[in-house]
Structure 1
Amino acid sequence: MRIGVIGTGAIGGTIAALLDRVGHLVEVTARGAQLEAIRADGLRLDGGWGTHTARVAAAETLRTGPELAFLCTKAQDAAAAIRANADLLDGITVVVVQNGLAGLREAQQLLPGSDCVGALALYAASFLSPGRVSVTTTANTYLGAGDGPPPAAAVEAARILDAAMPAFAIDNFTGAQWTKLIVNQINALPAITGLSAQEVIGDRRLRAVLTASLQEATRIGYARGVRYGSIQGLDDRLLRVVARAPRWAAQGVPLLMRRRMGSTPNPGSTLQSIRRGQLTEIDYLNGAVVDEARAAGQDAPINAALTALVHEVERTGAFLTPAEVAERMRPLIS
């Protein structure tokens, strides 16, 4: 099958390499040093799903019409990537693999003639160097759209992807997006401190901040009428308890997240962007919670502060120590 993968960072690179390994004709888009490396030496994958070098066609935009496409850019780059490839995406299934809440909705608006479905990649991967991606934690990918049963396009795309990596079509995709948004609360603090996700959770000061932001985000979801989906050990029933629990009890959620990550240091996608000198997608993670709070007539001061701290690190290039983070966040979480 001809498959296009738009954006070959950690997530897109993993999808492209594994689909190539099972025999699909894969074409990818990339830029700069990443594009040069793929053209010269292929797309190299290692880690939890084994090793493979994918010799794939690569350019800044798709050159041939795919039968199925995966959109794997950062959230802030999605609209431009869709417009640049729109002619070849019209009329096919486009799987939007992105963090946050806006990606699928945006793709549906820009590609009215396509079957756009969402995907939540729960595995962790790192962009180690141009042309090389490493899977640090294996996990499922979930596909769907809306808050009902998965559409036929999601079921078929999941079947194709499942031959390469664990993938499933699910009900209540919107609720699962919100649960992933809760899981992604872990991204901000590594980007602010330069520590791995495991190190952040292991530090009691940072764990307190993470727990407070997670509880705030969960409560905003309920204010927006969300019924959370069941992924990574979290579900609506558990999160309803977490939203009301004292902080000492709610910190069990970050500790559960750390156990699921395993021992390989997980920097998170936001810290990876910082290290590459790129703008992060924090406005689509913690920033999305702030936007949803505003839509509900509420505030999300903890998520707003974390968003601002990530932008500060983007501007200055200087990480904060755990003590500095704790001191600056203390008025909001005490």
Structure 2
Amino acid sequence: MRIAVVGAGAIGGCLAALLDAAGHDVVVVARSSAAVLRAEGIRLEGAFGAHNARPDVVDALASPPDVAILATKTIDSAAALAPSAAALADVPVLAMQNGLDAHGRVAGILGHRRVAAALGTWAANALEPGVVRITAAGETVVGGPEGERFAALLAAALPTVRLARSIEGAQWAKLCVNAANAVPAAVGWSMQACAADPGLLRVTAAAMHEAARAALASGVALEAVGAVTPETLAILATSAEAAQVVPVAMAAGFGDVPNLGSTQQSIRKGQRTEIDDLAGAIVVASTRLGLAAPVNAALVDLVHEVERTGAFVARDRVAALA
């Protein structure tokens, strides 16, 4: 198949390399990293194996591919899709993005509903263009319109792919997982180091607790995402203290290679983060549901401070949030 991958960061680079390894004709739509990718290709390392891919690299699609995968941050969706909008007018698209209703937002941008959603529990790091290291394996969950098509496509390239009964429920579960992203991004530590620090662990658990309360109150049929099951979400929602077991288990699953989380990776690359669609989405949803999410609200402010100043926040300021 001719597959377009829009976005060549950690997720897009990984998918482009794996689909290339599976024998597909891959074209990558990239902006800032285009020159490096044309010269060096994409090197994949780590838990999904090693592969050097040399996909076509373009600024915009000149003709429709068979399918496309959008793997940018949510805040970059419109800008990334605009140059290729005509070529994607009736093409099935997979939004491999964080946040709630990612596929709905992409469908609004493209003007058609042939948009599926996917999320992964694997940890990918890409701090330099064209080099992607998978530091922890995991599953990929796919759903929504065109979900069966993309689940079949990815199943031939990724080790564990599952078609979700409710992609919205899976997105809520992943949002609860991603609630662990903000503390490392604020202090500049790895997720493992934050989980090992009692004060930062309390804050991380409190953020996840707020997220899980909102998830349960949303009324959506929650799905398991990796090791995070509806039962895990119930533990997270019980109390901030009880919730601490979850980020500790997550950190153990990452192994010895420092996992920075996607938000901190964006900061270290000098890019805008999608914190407003992660911790910020928890705040918005909690408010709509009549709940409070003060820890997530404070973390949003701190991450924006880091973006604005370029300096990570002192550990004690973050630990004081819970």
Q: TM-score, normalised by structure 2?
A: 0.95
Aligned positions of 1:1-334 closer than 5 A: 1-32=1-32, 34-145=33-144, 151=145, 153-166=146-159, 167-245=161-239, 247-327=240-320, 329=321, 333=322
Deviating 4+ runs (over 3 angstroms): none
Structure 1 Cα separation of the partners of residues 80 and 250 of structure 2: 32
Whether the 8 Å CA contact 1:126–1:133 is kept in 2: the answer is yes
| Contact 1:216/1:300 (8 A) holds in 2 | yes
Look up the SS of the partner of 1:89 in the other structure: coil
Q: CA RMSD in A?
A: 1.4
Question: Where does the alignment leave 5 or more consecutive residues of structure 1 unmatched?
Answer: 146-150
User: Tell me, what secondary structure is at the counterpart of 1:159?
Assistant: helix
CA displacement 1:123-168 (0-9 Å, x = unmatched): 11111312211111111111002xxxxx5x2112111111111322
The alignment-based identity, stated in percent, is 43
Aligned-partner residue type, residue 321 of structure 1: A
2:301 alignment partner AA: A
- Distance in 2 of aligned mates of 1:270 and 1:252: 22
Encode CA deviations 1:289-315: one digit per residue, 9 max, x unaligned: 111122223331111000000000001
State the match for 1:148 in structure 2.
Answer: none
Three-state SS of the structure 2 residue aligned to 1:105 is helix
- Is there any run of 5+ residues in structure 2 with no aligned partner, and where? none
Q: Is the 8 A contact 1:90 1:114 kept in 2?
A: no
Amino acid at match of 2:52: T
Tell me by how many angstroms 1:20 deviates: 0.5
Give the deviation of 1:113 after TM superposition: 3.2
- My pick for the range that moved more, 179-188 or 105-114, is 105-114
Aligned residues: 321
- Indicate conservation of the 8 Å contact 1:92/1:114, yes or no: no
Alpha-carbon distance in 1 for matches of 2:215, 2:137:
27
Q: 1:44 Cα deviation (Å)?
A: 1.4
SS in 2 for 1:186: coil
Checking the alignment, whether the CA contact within 8 Å between 1:193 and 1:321 is kept in structure 2 is yes
Letter paired with 2:22: V
Mapped partners of 2:44, 2:278: distance in 1: 27
For residues 4 and 113 of structure 2, the distance between their equivalents in structure 1, rounded to whole angstroms, comes to: 14
Q: Deviations over 1:178-227 (max 9, x none)?
A: 00000001111111111111111111100000111111111122222233
Q: C-alpha offsets along residues 47-98 of structure 1, whole Å, 9 cap, x if unaligned? A: 1122211111112222332101100011101122233222111222100000
Deviations 1:6-49 (A, max 9, x none): 001000000001101111000001122x1111111111111112
Give distance in 1, aligned partners of 2:259 and 2:61: 31
